[in-house]
Amino acid sequence: MGRNYVKCGVCGALNPEYADRCRVCGTVFDRDRAVCERCGAYIPRNSAYCPYCGAVFRPDLIPPSPKDRKSGFIKGILTGLIIGALLSLAVLYPILSSSQEDSRDLKKELENLREMYSELSNRYDLLNQSYTLLKINNSEMENEYQKKVEQYNSLLLNYTELSEKYDRISNPPKDMYFIVILYFQTKYFGNFLGMKTHQHWIVLKVSVKDFMKYRAMEHPLLTDYSIAKDYVVVDKYIREIVSMVNSTLVENTKEELVDALMSVAQNKNVDTNESTAYLSDWQYGTYYHIDRTLKYPLETLVMHSGECMDDVILFLSLVKAAGLDGAFLFIPEMHHVMGGVYLEKKPNYSYNPENYMGYYYAEITYYGWKIGELSDEAEGKHVVFVKVD
């Protein structure tokens, strides 16, 4: 049997296959070696090809040629670029898609903001106009306010002066009083000389404090006819007048007394100029200023002002103090009121309101009228009867 020989991978010399080194060049053979099947040379066990004969054992381990390497490199780059582009597209598509949607939303929001801006701009213009008007009005109001302040200060000054005067009047000295002078007549039939006439004067001293008491009382409006009787008051001054009138009577009859009390209440010459204050020159009769504010009897006596209602209130207060029954006789059709007095004996003039027998008309507005007399104008007119309690 012949021996098997293998070539040295360095110098090419033949060596027995069991040799550990080349007997020519001394190269130490690696124990991990293989024999080329084609040429029998020792080669590394994992060689891809034989360096002596070029036999190929593992083509996948053979490095490519420069041309192939260049072509593969380009293909790799292109493949990488394509793959990278696809990956980028896969990653960026949702982002780009989302960006487009965001862009549409932003565009819509921008349009909304433009509309809001336009609306706010219009509102600003309106508010600016309102502000300008308010500035003008404020300037006018400031001027008006200054005027009102001046008026207020003037009124406050007047109020202070009046308040001081009121305090002096409200707390007057005990010897401070008004002097009230009344004129009246009594008439009666003499035995054989006919009608007799007596003239009389009454002088009253009215305490300022008593007068102010009535001025401070409530003065309700005549919204109902029954309110009138609340003004009928009997005080010491009314009693004094009745007492003095009684002392002048001759026949001492109720008709004579009522006529005399009517004369006291009629005692005035009316000043028709309503802007003129009452005059008190104490001539025959007393000048009265027409005043439509309801008053208590003492106010009418002191102030010398009033109209038919105040005259009747004064008269009925005198009638009540004399112990006689009296009533208000309102005639709505004439916007007028008269007194009414109950007499058991029929007087010389005997007109009385229908359905109220025994009560006779007492016209107080005109001077000189007697109990029971009635004008043609008032005759037959409807009467509202309000009895004094």
Amino acid at 219: H
Which of 21, 45, 62 corresponds to the end of one domain? 62
- Rounded Cα distance between 369 and 167, Å, is 42
pLDDT values of the chain reduced to their tens digit, one per residue, 389 residues: 456 777 787 787 888 877 778 888 888 776 667 778 778 777 776 677 787 787 876 655 445 544 555 555 666 677 777 777 677 666 666 666 666 677 787 888 888 888 888 888 899 889 988 888 888 888 888 888 888 888 888 888 888 888 877 776 666 666 788 888 888 888 765 555 556 778 888 989 999 889 989 998 999 888 899 999 999 999 999 999 999 999 999 888 999 999 999 999 987 654 444 433 333 333 444 445 555 678 999 999 988 777 889 999 999 999 999 999 999 999 999 989 999 999 999 999 989 888 888 999 999 988 889 999 999 999 999 999 999 99
What pTM does this model have?
A: 0.55
pLDDT value for 280: 38
pLDDT value for 327: 97
Query: In sequence order, what are the residues at sequence separation of 6 or more whose Cβ sits closer than 8 angstroms to the Cβ of residue 145?
Result: none
359 with 341: CB under 8 angstroms?
Answer: yes
- Rounded Cα distance between 296 and 211, Å, is 10
Q: Is residue 209 part of a domain?
A: no
Provide the domain count of the chain.
2
Which of 20, 35, 62 corresponds to the end of one domain? 62
Q: Is residue 117 part of a domain?
A: no
Q: Is residue 208 part of a domain?
A: no
- Rounded Cα distance between 188 and 250, Å, is 8
- Rounded Cα distance between 279 and 274, Å, is 12
Query: Looking at residue 375, which CATH number applies to its domain?
Result: 3.10.620
Q: Is residue 12 part of a domain?
A: yes
- Rounded Cα distance between 364 and 268, Å, is 10
Q: Please report, to the nearest 10 degrees, the dihedral formed by the alpha carbons of residues 231, 237, 238, 242 taken in order.
A: 180
Q: Is residue 107 part of a domain?
A: no
| Helices (H), ranges, the chain | 66-170, 208-216, 236-246, 254-266, 297-303, 308-321
- Which residues is 195 bridged to in the sheet? 189
Query: In sequence order, what are the residues at sequence separation of 6 or more whose Cβ sits closer than 8 angstroms to the Cβ of residue 87?
Result: none
pLDDT value for 72: 59
- Rounded Cα distance between 160 and 154, Å, is 10
Q: Is residue 342 part of a domain?
A: yes
Q: Is residue 180 part of a domain?
A: no
pLDDT value for 255: 94
Q: Is residue 155 part of a domain?
A: no
Q: What is the DSSP letter of 124?
A: H
CA distances in angstroms from 325 to 75, 321, 344, 387, listed in the order given: 142, 10, 11, 8
* Domain housing 368: 217-387
Which of 38, 62, 86 corresponds to the end of one domain? 62
- Distance separating the N- and C-terminal Cα atoms of the chain: 179
Write out the DSSP string of 21-65: B-TTT-PBPPSSEEE-TTT--EEETT-SB-TTT--BS-GGGSPPP
